[in-house]
Amino acid sequence: MSELFDAVDALVASRSPLPPPEERKRLRQAHGLTLDEVAAALKVRRATVSGWESSKTRTEPRGPEREAYARLLKHLAELYPTASAAEEAAAPAPEARPLSAAPPSETAGMPGSENTRTPAPAAPQAAPRPARTAGPSSTSRRPAAKKAAPADTPVGGTDARFENGPLAVVDVEDGQVLAYCVGGLVLDVPAKSIPALVEWTLKEARLGQPKLSGPGKDADPLIVLTEAALKRYGLPVTLTDEERLAGRIPEGHKVVKQLVRAEWKLTKRGFGPWARIYRPAQGSERACVQLCIPSWHALDSRHWGGAAQLGPADLVRVLGVYASRVMTPRGSTAVTGLELMTALHPPTHAVRDEGTGGFRKSETKTPGSLGEQPVDPAPCEAPDGHPLLKNLPRFHVRGPGEKLFEEAFDWARPLTDAECMHRNLVGIDVNMAFAAGANGLVVGLGEPTHVKAPAFDPKLPGSWLVDLSHVDLSRVRVGKDTWVDLDASLLPSPFTPRGERPEGPAWYATPTVAYAVELGYDVTPIEAWVRYDNGRYLDAWYNRLRDAFLATMADLGVHADMAPADFLAAMHGWRGRDPQLAIVVDAVKATVKGGLGKLRERPRGEGWRPGEPWRALSRPTWRPDIRAAVISRTRINFHRKIVKHAVFTGQYPVAVLSDCVVYAVDGTGPLDFLPYREGKPLPGGFKLGINPGLVKHEGTQTVLWGEEVRERFNAPELNLARYIKDGTVTDVDNGE
């Protein structure tokens, strides 16, 4: 009889209900699980799990695997519901929009894979939408369609709460206050003061953006104020020098007093270029609006180009595309890059309270996240002035044996006699190199553990004190049992940013030490700080930014599947096809580098003294070890391609700067020296394309130009990669 019961149980289990493939993927990612981890737990192949999550293949698990998989998804669905019961109970009727997210923790402002992935949807060609009622039926508060923004502005999402998009640009025309929204909609704004504008934004404007991950929070609505709007609401058009240095207007300003009287609060940053106005959360209802003021330099021209000078319709298009593909800006591109990490991996999540049946905040961090509490770095990872180093002697300079120094390449050498006989110097640049370096990288999530004389583990993130001075680039391993001879004098060392061979023990991140092993050399760490709590924290961040970059470049006529010659032709003049979308591309790239740079943010005034903590240290996202690991992997990826190219072609670089490398050749472009055979690139070498990790043409100058510049400035090792793009030479440092 028991055998019959077992057979019946197996039959029922073989039909265990499963959610749709998209929901399966969402649940796995919400818990920070990789395909490999799920496959290992269920004892199936990685490709099998991937097929279960694909709506195209529509493969389904069978037998005992289906029962186990259904059990896993059921538990995850309880941890990460699509909409918690608490939120549903608190959700108001459509006429009263639910209040948005509360203010985040305070933030202030370097930073692969070459596989082609499907980019995010392109900006739709949307016709101007008809007017909508965004609030109560009062005539004075009913928005009306005044005029259309550019027709290709992305429209709002399907969430009815945010049907007018993530943001609006508020301007004044002919005495009327108007809010330009994405999708061509322009709303009448009845608010006559900043507090009233905040109330209108939360209750009637239907602005905001749905959360990016299951346990996350909806994005706050963003209001951009033009100069005319600043005048209307009693704010200065520009800041005084004193206000600019302080980053805010005085607390005694009349607008700040208006907010205080209306019981609104400002974050510690005060009323500045990126003001955040909020009230404390009431249960599940949150109230927060962010202001962006371009004329106060909110949109840095280094990252946003001329966006601050655009008209309201064009500006909402630029910011709207960025918001839809990356996220609603939360400050500078650096701040937004950091906030995107948190939005994709929220530190906490809701769990069901068995006593009440409702939901409450989990007491443990969300798996795969950094948690809510900051962790101290290892002493070698701490930058100078950190509280961990306060007992060091005054004016002590830490050397490589005391300090982890993982930075990007800045290396150059004199041209050989043979290279001087070539006609040109051609530079190639890696697309989104630091984003590609983050893809698939295992980083530490928790505190470091100190170990003495450890065995090196390339899968364990951390910092290792090891002597790599014995690694000789004149003979390296390029395959399992294949060794080749190279001219080491023509190559930078991969172990130092300046390309110099290390002289003794030094601290390195895991990817750097792993590369020494890959080249065929033994390593014997003296000590290490390792992180046993680890994961691929940056994968979702990379995917989001990669898709934003590829989708926007596709809108500009540069696609991921182009042949090399077609790609080079498409890249010629790509900025001129749509200067506004070109601004978005620059902002996405700045989000990558700035977000990684924020992981090791230094003190920014405020009376700080060495040995004292500074504001950024209170963030769980202050993680210099993660930044170091990304830069280490990016530099190693670059060096690996340089070595592959030298082995296959005999060509050596004359200069390397961050993600740009320069070669002396007779041709004028990359196809004249990159080793393509029948349209296929060298495996593991440089490949032309727009995907992150692939390369594009950076610039071409003559060899005579390079030699003349070096002679003029008496700098035989001047890094020509810095000037290869247009030949303009500035900030010469004589190689020091």
pLDDT, tens digit, 9 for 90 and up, residues 28-70: 877 878 887 888 888 888 778 888 887 665 578 877 788 888 8
Phi, psi of 179, deg, nearest 5: -115, 110
pLDDT of res. 24: 87
Q: Residue 175 corresponds to which tokens in the numbers above? A: 């005495």
Residue 230 belongs to some domain of the structure? yes
Kindly state whether residues 178 and 313 are assigned to the same domain.
Answer: yes
Q: What is the pLDDT of residues 80-129, one digit of tens each?
A: 786 543 344 334 333 333 323 333 333 333 453 333 333 444 443 433 33
Q: DSSP class of residue 425?
A: E
pLDDT of res. 213: 87
Kindly state whether residues 321 and 450 are assigned to the same domain.
Answer: no
Q: Which residues contact 566 (CB under 8 A, 6 or more apart)?
A: none
Rounded Cα gap, residues 536 and 445, in angstroms:
9
181 and 187 in contact (C-beta within 8 Å)? yes
Residue 613 belongs to some domain of the structure? no
Displacement of CA 247 from its chain's centroid (Å): 25
Residue spans of the chain under pLDDT 50: 84-110, 112-151, 155-157, 734-736
Largest CA distance in the chain: 95
Rounded Cα gap, residues 268 and 240, in angstroms:
20
Report the SS3 class of residue 505. strand
Q: Which of 261, 294, 329 is the last residue of a domain?
A: 329
Kindly state whether residues 182 and 323 are assigned to the same domain.
Answer: yes
Crossing angle (nearest 10°) for helices 312-325 and 579-598 = 50
Rounded Cα gap, residues 599 and 627, in angstroms:
6
pLDDT of res. 704: 97
Residue 46 belongs to some domain of the structure? yes
pLDDT of res. 357: 66
Domain with 61 in it: what CATH number? Answer: 1.10.260.40
Kindly state whether residues 144 and 27 are assigned to the same domain.
Answer: no
340 and 107 in contact (C-beta within 8 Å)? no
Residue 321 belongs to some domain of the structure? yes
Kindly state whether residues 160 and 35 are assigned to the same domain.
Answer: no
Q: Residue 238 corresponds to which tokens in the numbers above? A: 């520009």
Pairing of strands 695-702, 424-430: antiparallel
Burial pattern 463-483, b for ≥16 Cβ within 10 A else e, equals: bbbbbbeebebeebebeeeee
Q: How far is CA 374 from CA 550, 599, 619, 624, in A?
A: 34, 12, 6, 12
pLDDT of res. 10: 56
Q: Which residues contact 2 (CB under 8 A, 6 or more apart)?
A: none
Kindly state whether residues 18 and 155 are assigned to the same domain.
Answer: no
Kindly state whether residues 246 and 162 are assigned to the same domain.
Answer: yes
User: Euclidean distance between the first and final Cα of the chain, in Å?
Assistant: 85
**Is residue 269 packed enough to be buried (19+ CB in 10 Å), middle (13-18) or exposed (0-12)?**
middle
Q: Which of 329, 359, 378 is the last residue of a domain?
A: 329
Q: DSSP class of residue 128?
A: P
Kindly state whether residues 313 and 401 are assigned to the same domain.
Answer: no
Q: In which element (H, E) is residue 625 found? A: helix 624-649
Residue 220 belongs to some domain of the structure? yes
Show the DSSP H helices in 556-623 as ranges.
Answer: 564-571, 574-577, 579-598
pLDDT of res. 75: 82
Q: Residue 129 corresponds to which tokens in the numbers above? A: 């939408």
Rounded Cα gap, residues 492 and 535, in angstroms:
31
Q: How many domains does the chain have?
A: 3
Residue 160 belongs to some domain of the structure? yes
Residue 492 belongs to some domain of the structure? yes
How does DSSP assign 510-548, residue by residue? Answer: HHHHHHHHHTT-----SEEEE-SSEE-TTHHHHHHHHHH
Structural domain that includes position 16 = 2-80
Kindly state whether residues 184 and 45 are assigned to the same domain.
Answer: no
Residue 681 belongs to some domain of the structure? no
Kindly state whether residues 288 and 201 are assigned to the same domain.
Answer: yes
Report the SS3 class of residue 449. strand
Q: How far is CA 723 from CA 60, 219, 409, 410, in A?
A: 55, 40, 15, 13
Kindly state whether residues 210 and 322 are assigned to the same domain.
Answer: yes
Beta strands across the sheet bearing 274-282: 186-188, 176-181, 167-173, 222-225, 285-292, 274-282, 265-266
pLDDT of res. 56: 62
What number of CA atoms fall less than 13 Å from residue 619's CA on the CB side? 23
Pairing of strands 222-225, 285-292: parallel
**Is residue 211 packed enough to be buried (19+ CB in 10 Å), middle (13-18) or exposed (0-12)?**
middle
Kindly state whether residues 158 and 22 are assigned to the same domain.
Answer: no
- Confirm whether pTM is higher than 0.75: yes
Q: Which of 80, 99, 115 is the last residue of a domain?
A: 80
pLDDT of res. 12: 53
